[in-house]
Chains A and B, each alone.
Chain A
Amino acid sequence: MSTADPPVTPAAEKAAPGARGAAGSSRRAYLGYVAGKLAGAAVSLFAILVTSFFLFRIIPGDPVKTMTHGRKVDAEQLAALRRQYGLDLPLWEQFTRYVGDALTGDLGDSYQFNEPVLDLIRERVPATLLLTGTAVVLYSALGLWLGTRAAWRHGGLGDKVNTGVALTFWSVPHFWLGMLLIIFFSVGVGPLPGLFPTGGMESGGEEGPAYVVDVVHHMVLPVLTLVAACYAQTLLVMRSSLLDEMGSDYLTAARAKGLRDDLVRRRHAVPNALLPTITLVFVNLGFIAAGSILVETVFSWPGLGGLFYQALSVPDLPLIQGLFIVYAGSMILMSVVADLIYPLFDPRVGR
């Protein structure tokens, strides 16, 4: 580690002695860092447009064939369709048009719904945010908590059970888990009555508090599925990063000060071990959109994932493309947020 003191200008030192002066100059460094990360994100977002153009215009060959697949279409209709979608233009012109449209928020029209893709997506976003946002918060908290416990008593029975159960849930395909939950808790097996709705987000006709209760009732099983499927990763990362901290001298020092074991863990070990985990939590937040495709499908949740599944079965290429951009874009945004937030937690990284 560097032994040099942070650069403190004499003037700043006088105006605000010590730490505050250092904060002034490092704030400038942090702003530079932010600008760099934002520029990187802009490049990545553009790269997503390039990738999606490549994926949807070049790999499939003739999109019009895909569009009409199965149906008999004569040459004239094909040509008309080509003109309609601008496919008769040279490739580079298609590309610039496509990028221009995408940047102005025009992602084309869905084949299936004959509606602008962006409107379709916008309608579905709240449902997905509600479902996966809840799930991410819950499974991150659960993973951090169990991971901390497992590492603190590593090698013990609790650790083995915890890790084993997490790995098992991680190996289970979560759409299958969702279907099992539906069978057992919605349809009911034998004498067991169905306790929860089989799918959807609301029963309809409810208002006010009753509506909220209804939505929560619909959310229980899908959220449970997502939590079971995803908490393992957080648990394992937290466990291994806390294990790295175990036996560190500063923990012995904290014990020597007379701190209780749980205070040593909470105040000293966990804040250090959390640092590598923060990034993961934010990546998971970015995963909010894409993480629930299967669960939304199984539970007929009216969100982006369900829309994606509908688009796949056609396949409705403009809609898939639009969703691809949304999914990938949200990942990139969240990883930038993680990069920007990380230095605020770790004083060793310049802020």
Chain B
Amino acid sequence: MTLLDVRDLHVTYGTGAAAVPAVRGVDLTLAAGQKLGLAGESGCGKSTLALALLRLLPRPARVRGEILLDGEDVLTMSWGRLRAVRWAGASIVFQGAMHSLNAVHRVRDQIAEPILLHRLETSQAAARRRAEGLLEQVGLPAARGGAYPHELSGGQRQRVMIAMALACDPRLVVADEPTTALDVMIQAQILRLIERLVAEHGIGLLMISHDLAVLSDTCDRLAVMYAGRIVEEGPAQRVFTAAEHPYSGALAAAFPTVGRAADRRAPQGLPGDPPDPARLPGGCTFHPRCPVALETCAADEPRLREAGPGRRAACVHVDSVKEAR
């Protein structure tokens, strides 16, 4: 059974003439225990998507489509049911743990809060003990639970966030740029920690990052987002090393990998900036920056289509590639 099934999800900020589309028809599936990476530049809508999964977007955002979590649509469930699903069904590791932790509460109590709320424990003391157990699972001494967020280092805070995300044994964890603010050594530690815990608990993981290399390393499958749409999807290593969509290729090349021949010859970034969601270019939204754009790209926006076993991509070149094979 699919754990998460997102169907034709649209998110729009504002209304009428001022409406800005942030997510424009995204389909995603994630099986229990699987790890899916979602990649894209900042502003492509990936964080909006993450917040939409638990209906956490602020009021001016309008969400359309279906988000099936264990078969239940998050978008239509009652507030009471939604609160029960939040954290117990799916939890989030937010980016920037400094700001996502409350500065005036001890971290132990912040971890214990959802445990009490979702009645996994009924007494304050038991919830605290459980929180301390979680802290030990993420490699922090239980005594650090008495600390306030500002007394911890960046890596320690991120470990607290992860412990918090695991507090109610969720079936799905969404990790939104979990390692962005950390230095490289700590990043690796945190990624290994996430991998280990997800495997131990049999949790489905949706990891969001701009770093394709990190995602391909951690995840089973990879989806690449551009201007509010998925432009490519497939097995992580295949997408990373042999992208079908020119954008995925450019994103992969932006993070050079040791031993990949292409990186040595032509280290490259992507020219230009990601498009302004309020003024998306017509046709394929990527065509102004695309090195292999055709004239038709300015007119028609390609849909996702089959591009090999278990792979889909939204590019006019996909068919020709397949035919050539």
Contact = CB atoms under 8 A, between A and B. Distances in A.
Contacts of A248: 99
Interface in B69-100: 83-88, 91-92, 94, 96, 98-100
Interface stretch (A104-112, A125-133, A176-184, A251-259): A251-259
A253 B100 contact: yes
A256 B91 contact: yes
Task: Among B83, B96, B98, find the residue whose CB has the most chain A CB atoms closer than 10 A.
Answer: B83
B282 interface: no
Contact of B104 (A6, A19, A258, A272): A272
B230 interface: no
B24 interface: no
Contact of A252 (B94, B114, B147): B94
B189 to A, nearest CB: 15
A18 B99 contact: no
Contact of A5 (B58, B92, B102, B151): B151
B153 A5 contact: yes
Interface in A230-278: 247-250, 252-260, 267-268, 271-272, 275
A258 B144 contact: no
Interface string B17-61: 000000000000000000000000000000000010010101000
Contact of A18 (B86, B105, B141, B150): B141
Contacts of B148: 347-348
B52 to A, nearest CB: 12
B117 A259 contact: yes
A257 B103 contact: no
A250 B99 contact: yes
Interface residues of B, number: 39
Contacts of A255: 56, 86
A22 to B, nearest CB: 7
Contacts of A259: 83, 113, 117
Nearest to B54: A256
A346 B51 CA distance: 29
B106 to A, nearest CB: 8
A254 B86 contact: no
Given A5-B151, A19-B143, A260-B83, A272 B103 contact: yes
Nearest to A252: B56
B60 to A, nearest CB: 11
A250 B88 contact: no
Given A5-B152, A18-B146, A249 B99 contact: yes
Contact of A254 (B96, B102, B118, B146): B102
Contacts of B88: 258
Contact of A257 (B105, B117, B143): B117
A256 B92 contact: yes
A249 B100 CA distance: 5
B253 interface: no
A258 B170 CA distance: 12
A347 B104 contact: yes
A256 B56 contact: yes
Given A2-B150, A5-B152, A258 B96 contact: no
Nearest to A2: B150
A348 B102 CA distance: 11
B143 A252 contact: no
Given A19-B146, A255-B86, A259-B117, A250 B102 contact: yes
Contact of B103 (A17, A20, A258, A348): A348
A248 to B, nearest CB: 6
Contact of A250 (B100, B114, B144, B152): B100
Contact of A253 (B94, B141, B145, B153): B94
Contact of B150 (A20, A257, A275, A347): A347
B98 A1 contact: yes
A241 B106 CA distance: 22
B101 interface: yes
A346 B149 CA distance: 12
A3 B147 contact: no
B152 A257 contact: no
A257 B114 contact: yes
A272 B102 contact: yes
B153 A3 contact: yes
Given A249-B96, A249-B100, A250-B101, A257 B147 contact: no
B277 interface: no
Contacts of B113: 257, 259, 267
A247 B58 contact: yes
Given A258-B83, A346-B104, A19 B94 contact: no
Q: Which 3 residue pairs of A and B lie closest in terms of their CB atoms, listed nearest first?
A: A18-B143, A19-B146, A258-B86
Given A6-B151, A253-B101, 6 more contacts: A250-B100, A253-B102, A256-B91, A272-B102, A272-B103, A345-B104
